[in-house]
Amino acid sequence: MKLIILGSGTSTGVPEVGCLCNACRSTDERDRRLRASALLITDEGKRILIDCGPDFRQQALRYGIDHLDGIIITHEHYDHIAGLDDLRTICWRESLPIYAQARVLDAIRHRLHYVFGAHPYPGSPRLELFEIQPDRPFELCGLEITPFEVMHGRLPILGFRMGSLAYITDLKSLPEASRPYISGLDLLVVNALRQKKPHPSHQSIDDVLELLEGLEHRPRLSLLTHLSHHAPVHRLMEATLPQDVRPAYDGLSIELSHAPQTFRLESYRPTTLRLECRDCGYIAYSEAYELQHRLFDSILDCKRRAEETESYLLLCEHNPVFTFGKHADRANMLMDEDFLRSHGYEWYSIERGGDVTYHGPGQITGYPILDLEAFGLGLRAYIELLEEAIIELLALYDIRGERRSDATGVWLDATEPCSARKICAIGVRSSRYVTMHGFALNVNNDLAPFRLINPCGFVDGQVSSIAQEKGEEVDITVVKHQLSAIIVRRLRERLEAFK
């Protein structure tokens, strides 16, 4: 499990607007603090955001946050919920669950009234709210989370315990009943506004040290967050604090190991994904084919020179065209070439794997031009990644896609001989682990041309589309956006695991 400190500052951040104090003029990056927030990454790679303040957009861009699996909120103050609208680019199609107390959920509904009203504003984030209460554990992403009450002045708010980790912000006093939740931890993240001077609703650093002294089992490591410009600068805190108490800073990553009482601290550096996504729109097959080859050859040239490679994801719609893989059986083309050309179809023999298939308007044809070695992928794993990405996309439309052991692509009712139908064909070429060609996902396209072939070599093979399964056309631009986001996320996860 990994915790990344996205922001370690108080409600005004550091530097504070208009201030010329020592902390605000510091050139140490660790003294530049966005509003307090953290990202928890579970053992399974699920991402849980703790608080979503006004700096979330900046934090997401800085640390490569392109998806979340859930959010937990400590309380309703501006610096902890004001970034929720910026989630719209992450959860505009699939709802994102938010867990908080009833009072906090009411504040979110009020602030984002255009999201939760009878007629939500187009493009606003899709958020699903769940009430939680102190001392009542709940499960999120397979992780048990226990909320517990802390006092923010006279306002009761939540801290969270997750295994041997606890996170608290805006604490002034800790009720006696909540003390066991922070005892015997590997890691405690806790707020400390400044060194000594009392504050009506926040702890000072001295208050934290006193709190830790009073615990029966002191945490192995305590990290100070929610720091203001009145706190000492980072290097002074490091020099003067006890060894088991450290100042947090933006971008600090803490990895908790399965081995008892072991963890690693380091500055978080998001994995750089060298991938360009292009929506090529409606493009002639010959033009896309030429573009593929140009990019494919450029990657091969880089590899020959031992240079770092760039990868590409091209999404297209084509004019009506049939393509034949290098091992295609001509018998699977049920009409001759003259008939096809006279009815407006083009015809290409190409170097990808697979048999004959059809491309046309309303179908998304995707060409990932990837250096698989850069992602630590073999060809089989890459094809499986594409299949799983399509299956994940279909689930957004309540369509259950499946893989088959005897054929690539994505199917519906895959194990039913009489009703199995293909919704996405996959055929690739690879040379020195660089790919071209890719997949064809039926979205709104006319399925009649598939009757002119045995699709992918399956005699009497049935096909379907998202529109046919839903009974209505869908926005293909939206589908492209969703699909590219899924593929990019899966490639990023693969790259992070490989690195």
Per-residue pLDDT tens digits for 188-235: 999 999 999 999 999 999 999 999 999 989 999 999 999 999 999 999
Q: Counting beta carbons within 10 angstroms of the beta carbon of residue 215, is it exposed (0 to 12), middle (13 to 18) or buried (19 or more)?
A: middle
pTM for this one?
0.84
Query: Out of 52, 91, 424, 456, which one is annotated catalytic?
Result: 456
Q: Which residue has the tokens 């996902």?
A: 441
Measured CA distances, 218 to 96, 178, 190, 205, 415 (Å): 35, 14, 13, 16, 56
**What's the pLDDT at 256?**
85
> How far is Cα 158 from Cα 82, in angstroms, rounded to an integer?
17
What is the four-CA torsion angle of 424, 429, 434, 438, rounded to 10 degrees? -20
Most confident of 261-265, 375-379, 416-420: 375-379
Q: Counting beta carbons within 10 angstroms of the beta carbon of residue 95, is it exposed (0 to 12), middle (13 to 18) or buried (19 or more)?
A: exposed
Annotation: CATH topology of 2-267: Metallo-beta-lactamase; Chain A (3.60.15)
Per-residue pLDDT tens digits for 7-54: 999 999 999 999 999 999 999 999 999 999 999 999 888 999 999 999
Does the annotation mark 456 as catalytic? yes
Calculate ∠ Cα 389-402-449, nearest 5°: 90
List of residues 6+ apart from 443 with CB closer than 8 A: 362, 363, 364, 465, 466, 467, 474, 476, 479
**What's the pLDDT at 330?**
76
> How far is Cα 180 from Cα 216, in angstroms, rounded to an integer?
9
Q: Give the number of other CB atoms < 10 A from CB of residue 140.
A: 20
The domain locations on the chain are: 2-267, 275-498
Domain boundaries 275-498, corresponding CATH code = 3.30.930.10
261 pLDDT exceeds 60? no
> How far is Cα 122 from Cα 128, in angstroms, rounded to an integer?
16
With beta carbons less than 8 A apart as the criterion, state whether 371 and 303 touch.
Answer: yes
With beta carbons less than 8 A apart as the criterion, state whether 224 and 208 touch.
Answer: yes
